[in-house]
Structure 1
Amino acid sequence: MRNAGERLKFIPPMEPELVDTPPEGDDWLHEVKFDGYRTQVIKDADGIRLLTRRGHDWTARYQALAEEAAAIEAETFILEGETIMINEAGLSDFHALQAAVSKRTPSRDLYLVAFDLLHLNGHDLRDTPVEDRREILHALIPAGGRIQFSEALPGTGAAVYHLVDQAGLEGMVSKLKTSVYRSGPTMNWRKIKCFAEKEMDIIGVQRETGKPAMVLMADKGHYKGGAFVTFKADKRQRLWDRVQGKVGGPVPKGLKKEKAEWLKPGLVGRVKFLKGEEKLRHAKLLDYRETK
């Protein structure tokens, strides 16, 4: 037990590993993965602090959340959550969040979805199983405010993934119910992301011997990265024939080092990729067409 007047230190986050499929069995709890900023909220003798994933103090940017956190009835705590903004469809909107936190005047449209409790009233809870930590956290958070509890979704991992994907959400996080809290990457927590599909411009190709072929994509003029070409031989050959007629396009700014053939405009590809990433990840070219 610690002295309640002691200043609490930032705890580096426990980080789920990215995997392709949810874990099976009843030993796991499954939550929605929200598209926002990981946030640690500390209350101690110095008041309330809201810190980023790296420990930077963003209390001033999260003023409305700080006010709500101050009303939580506990002398000291460290809780973790995801700061989000909600769009008109009711989904978390990362780009709106980025815009909001970069403004000088703090936004009041922020929410914090709280999912873990690391410390309470002088007690370090990190050696307590996550299932129990979350039960204490749930009782601590008042209903109806901007700080909300991240409910676990009932059902198997596969069923929860299907639900999350159908709802247009970014993904899910599965946690071993018995897991204690340890900073850094861990397989006791796993994140499984959903995929999106979109048409983008094909601006280049990478075809190196011994490596999988890739098309390089841009969206509204912004370079997004590569997508693997997994077509069967005849469709792949048709794509390369189209590519050949367009080789000699400009090298995009900042991409001179890429070993690629750059293309003139006119080819568009439909790409499947992981949601919630700035650049393409686990991306695959589904189809392509020429524009007029």
Structure 2
Amino acid sequence: MTEKTTSLAGEGNERPEAVTGNSSAVPDRARARALFERLAELPEGDPERQRIRDQLVELHLPLVEYLARRFRNRGEWLDDLIQVATIGLIKSIDRFDLGRGVEFSTYATPTIVGEIKRHFRDKGWAVRVPRRLQELKLSLTKAISDLAQREGRAPTVSELAAHLQMSEEEVLEGLESANAYSTVSLDAPDSGDEDAPAVADSLGMIDESLEGVEYRESLKPLLEKLPAREKKILLLRFFGNMTQSQIAAELGISQMHVSRLLARTLAQLRDGLTADE
């Protein structure tokens, strides 16, 4: 069964000797050396090179899995981590030089670990969300791009729902989950509305502590208490990247009304965050 990872863990910084000290992860070093010696003798383009390369990959898969498991508590599927780690293994095989005077497993370990860390930097989510929502976010991103190109404007929630054959509630859920992948800066301008102020301007005086994780967590219950329309407006504006004019068209109200509701709701959230200070 595929193992799913769930929380933060260490990042594989042990010395390679310690890592490969695990008996189940230690490859047959004598066989590995013999394979690398044979590989060095073969000319480029020789079909036997690929066969030996495949044997080296298979021989070191226990090491790959062992290193991947060290990152199993960071919100990624273990199978995905093993695939990423295997890429690091293949890079190590292609770059390894017997003349370095080190065992291959010692040489490969930092490369494999580095590949896994790069995966988290490039693809990681700010907070852990279920894979279903991650896939939904990816589907929405593609749908928004396709519909925007076709229509010449940002699609509405109802258009996205029809395009993806899902409910509007599921679309909104996916848009909200996108905040776990990338956050919106409070200093960013209210793009799409000419001469619009930065988001932070709607909050009154800038509160530096709003950048803290504890405030993001505190926002969750406040958002749940909002009326359905105000919550939808926030989701469409900050998670759906829709302009105030587009939101107005979606909800059938004026752009000025949307602006007032946004300002009032943001002020309400700010008051809720600072009430206990």
Greater RCO (Cα-Cα under 8 Å, separation 6 or more): 1
Specify which structure has the higher proportion of helix: 2
**TM (normalized to structure 1)?**
0.23
Greater Rg over alpha carbons, structure: 2
**TM (normalized to structure 2)?**
0.24
